[in-house]
Amino acid sequence: MIYRKKSDLEVVPIENCMGGKGTVSMEKLLYAPEEMLGKGRAYVRHTLNPGVAIGSHKHEKEMETMVIVSGRAVHKINGEVQLLEAGDIIAAEPGDTHEIANEGEEPLVLIAQVLYE
């Protein structure tokens, strides 16, 4: 069993994540790959303040799912723009290129999981 309290999570600032803009605050929810049974490289909570963006990146031999917990996002995947809000889910599959930005006035909080193909 794995059990962590939010107060025990370390917040790691990531400057210009994937070539994006501003600082993303990352909290590792599981330590990968050992706590993901060797099947993934990330299970994290990201917080993006207004104006912060994760830059464009391509997933090779892995997929990333994101659940929007709060806030609003502009997500661009393979050239298609999507407006996301709390409760929305996206998945970037192997070969997809995507980016996400907080263009709202409130913090954007999302849970991201990256699994190996």
pLDDT in tens, the chain (117 residues): 999 999 999 999 999 999 999 999 999 999 999 999 999 999 999 999 999 999 999 999 999 999 999 999 999 999 999 999 999 999 999 999 999 999 899 999 999 999 999
The CATH number linked to 94 is 2.60.120.10
Domain hosting 32: range is 9-116
Cα dihedral 48, 70, 106, 57 sign? positive
Q: What is the pTM of this model?
A: 0.95
Number of separate domains in the chain: 1
Give dist(CA 91, CA 113) in Å, integer: 9
Does residue 2 fall inside a structural domain?
no
Does residue 4 fall inside a structural domain?
no
Nearest to 17 by CA among 93, 115, 110, 94: 110
Give dist(CA 116, CA 20) in Å, integer: 23
